[in-house]
Amino acid sequence: MASLPETNKSLGQHWLTDQAALESIADAAEIHSTDIVVEIGPGPGTLTQLLVKRAEQVIAVEFDAQLARDLPKRVKAENLEVVTQDILSFDFTSLPPFYKVVANIPYYLTSNLIRVLSESANPPQKAVLLIQKEVAERVTAAPGDMSLLSVTAQYYWEATLGALVPAGLFTPPPKVDSQVLILEYRQQPLFDDIDTKAFFRTVKAGFGQRRKTLLNSLSGGLHLDKLTILQTLAVAGIDPQRRAQTLDLTEWNNLYQVLQAQ
């Protein structure tokens, strides 16, 4: 492969060339010869080189027009298609079902990308994302450290952590280490009979004021009086003095179900 292109700092570009780290990302995706793989932000194509050898087709979506133009020269493969586009506006419904997503993405993109993939009418069966270690840990957090991001991710996906990739393996090195996040889409919904928008309206209200108790954050976020919230939490079996980050997904569902029944 030719020498690495210059990085664009404004796009958060950091090239990964360590072969063992690249292999760990590709391995986590468990790519079969019949798989369609969407690679987000292929950059110089160091990961693309591995993906085209394993998948039936690789669709590389690159925002940087110059990198997109150069990619076919760097990775010469008949099963590679390059799309110059912002991944947040990419039409995932144009893909066949059960495709996979593999990406080494800029840190600022993570939350929005997980939301877009989660809410797509045609989500991937699996997404393997190399992201900031701290964010990967937030996504997979347990009750006590939950956030809107972790509730969203775990509602739609089974989320686990993969290999740790130290900052020093990148060019140029970012300020923090990265980690592989493995998301497997839940083929069966976590809960039955749920209006997703209404469910997340409740969750967002709970996290709207993280330092406040559920009694206060839900009352303010849902525009309901505190007596109503107290009664709702009592029926749901949740202490009103708890905070949003301590609830697990089953408790969020219990709370949602009680609110819907009112």
- For 214-245, the pLDDT digits (tens) are 999 999 999 999 999 999 999 999 999 999 99
pLDDT at residue 3 greater than cutoff 90: no
What's the CATH code of the domain at 209? 1.10.8.100
5 pLDDT tier (thresholds 50, 70, 90): low
In this structure, the answer to whether residues 137 and 245 fall within a common structural domain is no
Q: How many domains does the chain have?
A: 2
Beta strand ranges found along the chain (DSSP E) = 15-16, 36-40, 57-62, 80-84, 100-104, 126-132, 157-165, 170-171, 178-185
Q: How confident is the model at residue 95 (pLDDT cuts 50, 70, 90)?
A: very high
Q: Are residues 63 and 123 in the same domain?
A: yes
DSSP secondary structure letter of residue 118: H
> Is residue 15 over pLDDT 80?
yes
Say if residue 203 is in the same domain as residue 180: no
- Read off the CATH number of the domain in which 38 is found: 3.40.50.150
**Is-contact 51 58, C-beta < 8 A?**
yes
Mean pLDDT, rounded, for 121-130: 97
- CA distance between the termini of the chain: 62
Average pLDDT, the chain: 94
Integer Cα distance of 15 and 21 in angstroms: 12
Cα separation, 71 vs 130, in Å, equals 20
- This prediction's pTM: 0.92
Q: Report the pLDDT averaged over residues 150-170.
A: 97
Both 177 and 224 in one domain: the answer is: no
In a domain, 116, yes or no: yes
Residues 18 and 85 in one domain: yes
pLDDT at residue 107, rounded to an integer: 77
The domain of 167 spans: 9-185
Q: Residue 37 corresponds to which amino acid? A: V
Per residue in 26-67, pLDDT (tens digit) is 999 999 999 999 999 999 999 999 999 999 999 999 999 999
Q: Are residues 125 and 28 in the same domain?
A: yes
Q: Are residues 107 and 169 in the same domain?
A: yes
Listed residues 160, 185, 210: the one ending a domain: 185
What CA–CA distance (Å, rounded) separates 17 from 171?
8
Judged against a pLDDT cut of 80, whether residue 210 lies above it is answered with no
Instruction: Tell me the mean pLDDT in the region 147-176.
Output: 95
125 and 22 in one domain?
yes
